[in-house]
Structures are given as structure tokens and as C-alpha cells.
Amino acid sequence: VSNAATDKIQDFEILEGLKSLFGDATMIEISEFDESTAHQVFHSWLERDQRRLTSLQMEWLKPKLTPRVEYGIEMPTPLFLSLIYEFTYTWHSFDDNLDSGFEKAKTTKSAIKYLYARLSEKYGEVLFYRAMKYLKQAGGLSETELEDMLSADNEVLHSVFVHYLPPTDVFRLPGTLWIRIRNDMSKYLVEKNVDNVPVIYFYHRSFQDYDEFGRDDTRKVEVIRRAYYAGNVGHFLNLHDLPFEITSEKLIKMHRSSSLRVNRCLNRQQAYVKNIKGKDRIYNMRRINQLFMHMSDLCCEPWFLYDYNFISSYLHCYKISDLRASSWFYPTLRFLLTQYEACSFVLDKHPDNFAFDLSARLGSLVDILPEIIFKLFYQCLSHCALFMVENETPSPDLCMSKYVVGIVSTIGLDRDSGNLLVLLAEKLLSFHLEEFYLTSKIDEYELPSKEFTSLKYSESYICLYSTKHLLVMQCGQSKKCVLKLSIEDLIHVEFIKMGTLLVCSKGSKLVKVWDCLKETPIGQHPFDEAIIQCSTIKHDSGVVIKVTLETGITHYLLANVTKSNEENEVHFTHVGILKEKLGNDSILFNSETDVYYTEHQTSIYLYHFNRSENDHFKEIDNLPPMNGTVSLHNFFVNNKSDSALIWLTVDSAVILHSCGNHFNICGEYYAVCRTTGTFVGEFVCLINRSALEIYIFEWKCESGIHMYRLHARFQLDNKISHCVCNIGKSC
């Protein structure tokens, strides 16, 4: 049963569920407070406590007892009424001015805020708020645990020990401070048993959900809480040997030092598992669950996931897939989690195999392992009863997930949503690679026909198309078709933004922009002659469109979409025109430059259509022979967008940077792996000529000088027909 006013009852169907369970049992409906009931309850409390308020004070209370809606919540709630009554204990008969904080307390949340503000004045802001935050973050703490964490928190100790410091051999927060806070909060705290430990926690969800402590405070509290249960692992603070840094000039002079070695007398955590002879292993669920809690919080790297003792115990209590880790941005951790995931089909059934399976996977990578993973590898070896015979060790399968889907027409990786899109003959598959869990979620969309061969995607929209047909689908929860068109000789489509799609067909004399949701065209740009080629490139405010006509003239347009009176409007701006072709092929380099080239030639022409007439053209020569297929590569460097062109020769991959210089990566490569969006950094992904290996190179350009190194290499079992990648995500 939900006791939060923000939960919609109809979403949970609580009453219907209870009726189905208890049949004809009598159920008494407890209605919301009306003004009469609120007054009756309030006066009954006054009578019980033999108290009386002045008529002026009753006037102050009147707005609080009146039924109303505050921020969509029906007021007053029983908890709000109880809090208001508690506040009246501080009133005196001679008071004639209302406290502004009390006046602002109009909801349960603001009443809790007022309560916390009063108690923080009494006990100190840092001490009180940190105590409440530790309770909230941990979902309840024993008094010993809470006092330990407060004693490990230097900011709390600084706020308490202003004029003197306790003895260095018992450097702790006085226990009486928490006892006083607990007594003043006794009405709102409850003792319960969690993981066989009696803990104190908030009895009402409104206190549990209250979170007005600030992100920085939350991070500091979470770091200490994790370090308390994890111990001296990774870069966690060693709380038992943590020195006390003195900030007060007075105390520095008194102790002749700004840092003291102290003993905080913290309780040490018991081992994750106890092996009792003749009995089953007993796991320290209190410790495991506290570390498992808030795994998605990025306040600090969860170093315990590199700890053999934690993971080997965790696997006996939970599954690998329960690790909510796919969105973490710690590269080393993400690599390790993929290794855990790859072992999951064995470890979920046989967790005792952890040391053997992980060491077998990491063995071939031992020379390049980060130090913290190497330590884990060494721990696995020391706990492993079996060892791989070195000469017979198979290469580990580095693939995180494999799926058999059938014959693939094309694939795409949507960088914004993190979805891998796979187009088959009769259906579209969407793999949610950015789901909260490591294991991918898959959506299937049945297609009305087998005619679609290509796809484009943007936010929640997917466009499937061929030379004659076009279908736009809105994905997510709705999963519906929003636009379907039949167009002869369709040559190009591109999403602009806000569900608008640019459509161009060969032989037509105009480009159109459609509002997909409304299934109507919202704008078009006409030309004097028929169109034979069309391409686009993304721009900050829309897309740059390049249109070549039958006469050989090429036009460059900027199209952007704006909102006006809740309607999408498209605006076209003519930014350039080229009256003669500079090569047989061309590719838009960026939103200001077009590149023309001819296969087997050793020079290219840059056409800067946004520049003045005298600065339109630039030739770059002495290049390796051009291939018929040139790829565009976008990336971010120092928060700025940059680009490069890539093509393949017989014995190398050629990368031409926007600075005008080029370099070769030697090797026999079959294809350049298609990139999605823009990389954060300078990386290039290449497939070798046998199509059985993928190489990822990292490179940088400094003052026109290019340097590169091999970042990763993957050996595959089968040949590749389609490939898209994003560093950190590859398929």
C-alpha cells in the first residue's frame, strides 16, 4: 500500500487488489480530512495534553486546518497535522507574532523542512542534517553504525569540536549528541530489523523521501557510507586510519599541528562470509546489501566491484544482471563489468566458478590490464583450484552479447538513445544497450511489408525507407506508425528536429519537410530544374542540404525548424551555389565545406560555400590515391566539433584531418566501421580484409602532426557484413 500523496491510486489498483484477496470482508473507507475533522483531531490532542491556545494562535492555525490543494496534493494530511501540533509546543500565551517559517509550512514537505530547520538550530546544522542524511542513504542504521559514520566525518567533527578536541585515542563524537537528536525525533523514527540488525529509520515515507540536503552533501555522505562497509579497497578512504585535519587557527596553535593521527574507535566490519564447519556458509547480508544499495549513484567509483571478496560473496546472493551498471562512465569499471556479464551464464548457476572463469578471461590480457583489475586477477588465481594449461588456453570471447536474428538488411546505432537498430525483412529490432541493466532489452516491431532497405533515426523516431516507400515510427511506449508515404525514386531522407523529416526524390523539383505526427508537409523549397542528387549534414540549428540539379548546378541550403503557436515551422536559407563540378564524387565535410574528389586521383578540392567568393576553393594534393568510397568521421576535441575523411588503399587506411594534413595507418583493411553521431575523442574503427578482426585506433593531431596507437583489437568468429560503433559501445 502506498502512503505517498504523489502516487496515483488508479495506477496501483490497491483497493481492487484487496477486494480480490479478502472477498466479502468489511472494509471501512477512511476519507480525507475535512475542516471539521481536522479541528476535532487537533482539539482532542489539546485536551489529551491539557493544553489551551489563545484565540490569536487558533487564527494562525486556521489556514493549516482548512482543506486545500497545495502543488497537486490534498491537504492537510495526518502527518502534516501532527507536525503542526508539535510546533505549537514552542508557543507561549504572550506570543503575538507568527514565526515566518511556520507560516511557510503549507505542505507536509515544507513542514518537515521547518522541523529540520528548528532542530538544526538546536544541535548544529552540519551534525543534524548529516545524521538525517546518513539514515536516509542507508535505509536505516543501527546506533553504533550511525555514530561511527558521524565520527568518521571530519566536517561533523569540525562543527562540534570548535574550542577543544577530544583525546586522540578516543576521537569520537559524544554519544549523548545523537541520543538528544533521537529523543527530539522519537515521534518520527522507528526501530526495525534489517538483515538481522536492529536499525533506526523514519517511520513515514514523507521523511524517507525528503531530500533537500544538496548534491554535494549527498556525495560526501555516500563516500563515507561506502568506505565504512567496503573497507580499505581501491581509492576508498581508510576510515580507521583517517587523520583529522584541523582548520581552526586556535586549535592548530594549541596542538602545534594541522593534522592529527587519531583513533576514532570505529567498529570493523565482519567478513563477507563465514565458513562454519559442518554448516552452510553464512553471508554478511548487512554489509553486502549496504554496498549493493545506490549502485547507480555516480558520487564515486564503486571500488568494491574490483574486490574478489565482495564479488565472490555477492554472486551467492544476487545475479550479475542485477548490477545496475550500464550507464556508468568509468571506463575501467565498464570493461570489468562486461567480463562479469560474459561469465554470467555460468556464474548465475555456479557462483563458485568465479575465480576460474574470470582468471581464464583475463589471462590473455594480463599485460595490458589496469593495476586494479590486475590485483583482482591475482586474487582470482590465489583462490582458483584449477588453472588453464597455458599453451591450450583458448582466446576468450570478448563479445558481451550474441543474438541470432536472421538476414540483416542494415543496422544503426542511435547515440542519443543508446539503441541498436537492426532491420530485417519483416521486422525491426531495437536493442536497448543503454538500459539500466547490463543485459539488453529488445523491442520488436512488425513491418507491414518487406520493401524497406534503409533506416534513419532521431530521438524517439525511426524512418524506414526504400526507393519507393517511406515509413516513420514513433518508438518508446507508444510504438506506433505516424507517417507512411509512397514516393517514386526516393533518394534521401533526414530528420531535422522535433519529429520533422526532410524528404527528397530524384526527378522532383523540390525538397519537402514533413511533420511526422501530424502527417502533413510544413514547408518546401522549389528549384528550377529536376534534382538528381541530395545529401545533408547536421548543423547546430538544423541541417545543411546539398542539392545537385540536372544542369550540374549544386545548391547549398540551411533548413531549421522552429515552434510558433504550438506549430512546427521550417525556414530555408540559401547559403551557397556551385556552377561546375570539381570531381566525379563529393561528400559534405562539415556545415561549411564540401569535398570533391575523383577515384584514383591524388588530389581533392574543398569548396567553402559559406566564405567570400575569393576564398571559396582550396586544393589539397599529394594524397594517396582516392577510393570510390570515402567516409566522414566526426568527433569532439576540447568541447569543439571536428571532422576527418577516411578512405582505404591496398595497404593502409588514409585519414585526412580538417587541418589539411593526412596520415596512414598501415594494414590491409576491408572497411571503415560506420560511426554514429560524434565520438568524444579521436578514434577510428577499422575491419581487416578477412573481416574477422576489428581494430580501434586512437589518434590526435597537435600542430599539424598526427600520432596514433592501437587502442583495442577484437578477434571474431564470423565474418562481418554490417558494423556500427561508438567508443564504449560497438556492434
Domain positions in the chain: 30-120, 124-341, 622-731
DSSP letters spanning 338-392: HHHHHTHHHHTT-GGGHHHHHHHHHGGGGGG--HHHHHHHHHHHHT-S----GGG
pLDDT, position 326: 47
> What is the grid cell recorded at 10?
488508479
Backbone angles phi, psi at 104, to 5 degrees: -80, -15
Distance (Å, rounded) from C-alpha 361 to C-alpha 388? 10
Q: Is the pLDDT of residue 313 over 90?
A: yes
Cβ-contact 326, 249 below 8 angstroms: no
Which residue type is seen at 625? P
pLDDT, position 39: 87
366-375 pLDDT tens trace: 888 899 999 9
Minimum mean pLDDT range among 95-104, 156-165, 396-405, 664-673: 396-405
Cβ-contact 619, 657 below 8 angstroms: no
Q: How large a percentage of the chain has pLDDT more than 70? A: 90
Q: Is the pLDDT of residue 22 over 70?
A: yes
Distance (Å, rounded) from C-alpha 681 to C-alpha 663? 17
Cβ-contact 68, 37 below 8 angstroms: no
The answer for residues whose C-beta is within 8 angstroms of residue 643's C-beta and 6 or more apart is 589, 590, 632, 633, 634, 635, 658
The answer for residues whose C-beta is within 8 angstroms of residue 613's C-beta and 6 or more apart is none
> pLDDT tier at 443 (50, 70, 90 boundaries)?
confident
Cβ-contact 79, 48 below 8 angstroms: no
**Which residue's entry shows cell 511526422?**
516
Query: Which residues of 121-207 form beta strands (DSSP E)?
Result: 189-194, 197-202
> pLDDT tier at 2 (50, 70, 90 boundaries)?
low
Q: Is the pLDDT of residue 117 over 60?
A: yes
> What is the grid cell recorded at 104?
511557510
In a 3-state reduction of DSSP, which class is residue 619? strand
In 3-state terms the chain splits into helix, strand, coil percentages (rounded to 5) of: 30, 30, 40
230-242 pLDDT tens trace: 998 888 989 999 9
> pLDDT tier at 28 (50, 70, 90 boundaries)?
confident
Backbone angles phi, psi at 51, to 5 degrees: -120, 160
Rg for the chain (alpha carbons), in Å?
33
> What is the grid cell recorded at 712?
583495442
Q: Is the pLDDT of residue 731 over 50?
A: no
The overall average pLDDT reported for the chain is: 86
Q: Is the pLDDT of residue 728 over 70?
A: no
Q: How many CA atoms lie within 13 A of 488 on its CB side?
A: 3
> What is the grid cell recorded at 420?
541498436
The answer for residues whose C-beta is within 8 angstroms of residue 574's C-beta and 6 or more apart is 555, 556, 557
Cβ-contact 547, 575 below 8 angstroms: no
Secondary structure of 30-92 as H, E, C letters: CCCCCHHHHHHHHHHHHHHCCCCCCHHHHHHHHHHHCCEEECCEEECCHHHHHHHHHHHHHCC
> How far lies 309's CA from each of 38, 317, 352, 376, in Å?
55, 13, 12, 10
> How far lies 238's CA from each of 234, 288, 570, in Å?
10, 18, 59
pLDDT, position 438: 47
Q: How large a percentage of the chain has pLDDT more than 90? A: 49
Secondary structure of 695-726 as H, E, C letters: EEEEEEEECCEEEEEEEEEEECCCCCCCCEEE
Q: Residue 76: is the preceding peptide bond cis (ω within 30°)?
A: yes
User: Exposed, middle or buried by CB within 10 Å (0-12, 13-18, 19+), for 9?
Assistant: exposed
> What is the largest distance, in Å, between two alpha-carbon atoms of the chain?
100
> pLDDT tier at 324 (50, 70, 90 boundaries)?
low
Q: Is the pLDDT of residue 678 over 50?
A: no
pLDDT, position 692: 80
pLDDT, position 636: 65
- β-pairing verdict for 593-597 and 604-608: antiparallel
Q: What is the arithmetic mean of pLDDT over 586-606?
A: 93
